[in-house]
Structure 1
């Protein structure tokens, strides 16, 4: 689409003041549909869309916020030209930071080198795809004119924001996520976009968890009660829950599961920012390993803070009808009978589970995304949302598969006090007992409904997240 812009609107020209003014005037006339000498945001949106440059509401609002110096809600030609001049200067600095050998062209190896300095490792093939999306003349290198024309209306102000433009991310929640929190630029933090995105993810998570709550409760019931002698399967488990407490009982414990999303997300986001500052180098940059460690520690910090709610969720899910009148009644009875330490039963296997889950999830996600880009991407460095959804679903499933035994042990430890006559074993004791009585497969009780909920959870989460973004002005 930017090749179209280059051919019809931005002809080849030397980068002097006169030619720039001519180019800007030509472009302004195409955007000023009603020919009143001013461009409002509706005209900018329609004009750029007609030229094949749909930026999205945020980008267009950023352009107006920066360029509209008299704050009248419109850009006259002087404001329009001044914005593009200032933006060109920023893009020139970004171009020079990538042009390592100062030959006036950006090549794939220079992109790989520059991103590595910023802690992002990509392959030569991925760098070539980035180049191809900018390269207008097919030389597999990008000169200043191509770079300027491609980013002329992209409101990114430096190389890090340009990298975020290249790197698309999607927020997903399937109820067991311990992955690295999303990152936000300073501009997104100042504009409030960060809290709108977190709110969108939180609402999507709440709806997703509520929609798959019966499968989640079934998983917990099978983790606690299923054994060789009590062969509870998906069908018999659901029938047993409905018979014992009615259809409403299928959502028992879901309230706590939804309520804990907000504090867990907020703490994880805050802790991630703090850990990144600790691990950043003198220039304030952070590498891939440091980012992963920061994310894992942020997940552990959030889990530590909200862990009592995890215990409450399990007790409510396993409890019988009428045993607890609600979350607070459950908390009061646990504290009275078992003391404060009961709220951290299963904490050790839960924290240990972060390591295989987050590590495998991230590694598989990046490997799948890289493989797709290397083999199937033709003219874009952005794999697209559905590819990322697929990568996220598979990687999360692999992460859960690796950490599931620890999750089962955690749930058993949380629920032991409810099982009459059952010994109160520690993590090692439970492992030994399960393997001795049920074999290795015993460590995977309940994994069926756990996997069954992945696809609907991801689908619900994605649809609600996109709708929330639209309603909050993020789409």
Structure 2
């Protein structure tokens, strides 16, 4: 086999080999490591197994095979493998040269900062050093060509935007309860941001629609303890379908999806304005954790104030019986006629009070989990998709747990008129009533379906977001 010949010739002439021969010897050894069954070919399974140990994602492995498999047999022989690495190393060398501004053969943190800023992505010195540390194998706080080449050898990068996307993953994962704004998103240019918000908006719409039955069950449990006429949670879905057909499981979902666009746009715009006022804690304008908490909480409060009438409509439409409203306009008309304009802000105070603990805990837990992973896996590069999705799901769950009693009281206040006239208790009166009649557990009614929807919501949101991001070209600034 040719690769064995390369190894033999190389070992005999080790002291007088040319750079090209040394390179082919390195490729041959690498090929031999990846060729698990030693049949002279590397298939997709072998490549995935071998490169998973190097922290290469499945999607990157698939792209390597797609680019290198010239005869399209689903495998790479040594020549195809060598041709792919030869082409890819040329691209990596060009990227390395562009980053190496002073042409000393090494890349330092300042050069990383400058290169990312040149494409509109502003990073702090600390973040640049963290990126550098993920590739620096000899502890010199610089990256030479060999370190750069080996780190990106099986990552199909073609330009600086691809490198930036690899270094800084940004995802908008919508669970229906999200208040945290990714710091990476707020660092990007506006054109890229709005492409990502559009991708995230569609992902959130699909995610919320897919989990809407669980959301409707949650609302019923918060207000009634179970679906009216049932004595257990188990047959609530069946009772909903009996009462209004299969489509009744999605009541209120239209408004829930509709309110996403203005809420997200207002929240992000306000966040950017507050971030500008705070000025950031370092020379690059980045916010400290506590500053991001303040900015995120204020942005969430203002966005919620603006779209809160839609929240009330969503609750009323979710709880409505068949034939109660002919549509959204009829629901608005009946609320105005029977209860006045203030009906659209019922439950506003507990909703506002829930924002700070939910956003703060979500942010703090997310940062803690992500930074803990980075500190323990500093040699593995930036956290991958599974890590970020897991951090986001866990932090969102913790934020919801902390604010859930306030969310429950908010929903009950929004639904008060739907339960029939009479005096409407205040927020504190409702808390006392729930504790007296149902105990502490009463403040967490509906929590189970709410938590059950987190994992499917995040998963669906991520899959759709990634697909749409590619369609609209929403990665990093271009």
Match of 2:313 in 1: 312
How far 1:239 sits from its partner (Å)? 2.1
**Is the CA contact 1:296–1:358 (under 8 Å) kept in the aligned structure 2?**
yes
**Is the CA contact 1:131–1:141 (under 8 Å) kept in the aligned structure 2?**
no
**Is the CA contact 1:48–1:54 (under 8 Å) kept in the aligned structure 2?**
no
Give me the whole-angstrom Cα distance separating, in 1, the residues matched to 2:168 and 2:408.
35
How far 1:305 sits from its partner (Å)? 0.9
SS in 2 for 1:428: helix
Give me the whole-angstrom Cα distance separating, in 2, the residues matched to 1:470 and 1:96.
29
SS in 2 for 1:235: coil
Match of 2:100 in 1: 88
**Is the CA contact 1:315–1:414 (under 8 Å) kept in the aligned structure 2?**
yes
How far 1:54 sits from its partner (Å)? 9.8
SS in 1 for 2:174: coil
Residue pairs, 1:65-464, within 5 angstroms: 87-89=99-101, 95=108, 97=110, 127=130, 130-135=131-136, 138-143=137-142, 145-146=144-145, 166-181=167-182, 183-184=184-185, 188-189=189-190, 192-226=191-225, 232-281=231-280, 283=283, 285-288=285-288, 289-375=290-376, 377=377, 379-420=379-420, 423-464=423-464
Give me the whole-angstrom Cα distance separating, in 2, the residues matched to 1:215 and 1:229.
16
Tell me the alpha carbon deviations over residues 13-65 of structure 1, each in whole angstroms, 9 at most, x when there is no partner: xxxxxxxxxxxxxxxxxxxx9xxxxxxxxxxxx9996359699xxxx9xx9xx
Tell me the alpha carbon deviations over residues 378-397 of structure 1, each in whole angstroms, 9 at most, x when there is no partner: 63231210111111111111
Give me the whole-angstrom Cα distance separating, in 2, the residues matched to 1:258 and 1:359.
24
Give me the whole-angstrom Cα distance separating, in 1, the residues matched to 2:216 and 2:393.
21
Tell me the alpha carbon deviations over residues 395-428 of structure 1, each in whole angstroms, 9 at most, x when there is no partner: 1111111111010000000000111255301111
Give me the whole-angstrom Cα distance separating, in 1, the residues matched to 2:143 and 2:383.
26
1:50 and 2:50 correspond: no
Q: Cα–Cα, structure 1 residues 340 and 90, in superposed 2: closer, same or farther, change >3 Å?
A: farther
Q: Cα–Cα, structure 1 residues 429 and 248, in superposed 2: closer, same or farther, change >3 Å?
A: same
SS in 2 for 1:89: coil
Give me the whole-angstrom Cα distance separating, in 1, the residues matched to 2:89 and 2:221.
50
**Is the CA contact 2:230–2:239 (under 8 Å) kept in the aligned structure 1?**
no
Q: Cα–Cα, structure 1 residues 239 and 144, in superposed 2: closer, same or farther, change >3 Å?
A: closer
Match of 1:105 in 2: none
**Is the CA contact 1:222–1:233 (under 8 Å) kept in the aligned structure 2?**
no
Give me the whole-angstrom Cα distance separating, in 2, the residues matched to 1:54 and 1:230.
68
Match of 1:15 in 2: none
**Is the CA contact 2:357–2:403 (under 8 Å) kept in the aligned structure 1?**
yes
Give me the whole-angstrom Cα distance separating, in 2, the residues matched to 1:251 and 1:173.
18
Q: Give 5+ residue unaligned stretches, structure 2.
A: 1-18, 25-67, 69-80, 113-122
How far 1:167 sits from its partner (Å)? 3.7
Alpha carbon RMSD of aligned pairs, Å?
A: 4.0
**Is the CA contact 1:180–1:296 (under 8 Å) kept in the aligned structure 2?**
no
Match of 1:19 in 2: none
**Is the CA contact 2:174–2:461 (under 8 Å) kept in the aligned structure 1?**
yes
Q: Cα–Cα, structure 1 residues 207 and 275, in superposed 2: closer, same or farther, change >3 Å?
A: same
Q: Cα–Cα, structure 1 residues 389 and 228, in superposed 2: closer, same or farther, change >3 Å?
A: closer
Q: Give 5+ residue unaligned stretches, structure 1.
A: 10-32, 34-45, 64-79, 100-114
Give me the whole-angstrom Cα distance separating, in 2, the residues matched to 1:205 and 1:229.
29
How far 1:205 sits from its partner (Å)? 0.4
Give me the whole-angstrom Cα distance separating, in 1, the residues matched to 2:83 and 2:188.
23
Residue pairs, 1:24-35, within 5 angstroms: none
How far 1:87 sits from its partner (Å)? 4.9
Q: Cα–Cα, structure 1 residues 133 and 305, in superposed 2: closer, same or farther, change >3 Å?
A: same
**Is the CA contact 2:135–2:379 (under 8 Å) kept in the aligned structure 1?**
no
Given the two structures, how large is their TM-score scaled by the length of structure 2? Answer: 0.70
Given the two structures, how large is their TM-score scaled by the length of structure 1? Answer: 0.70
Give me the whole-angstrom Cα distance separating, in 1, the residues matched to 2:434 and 2:264.
33
SS in 2 for 1:134: coil
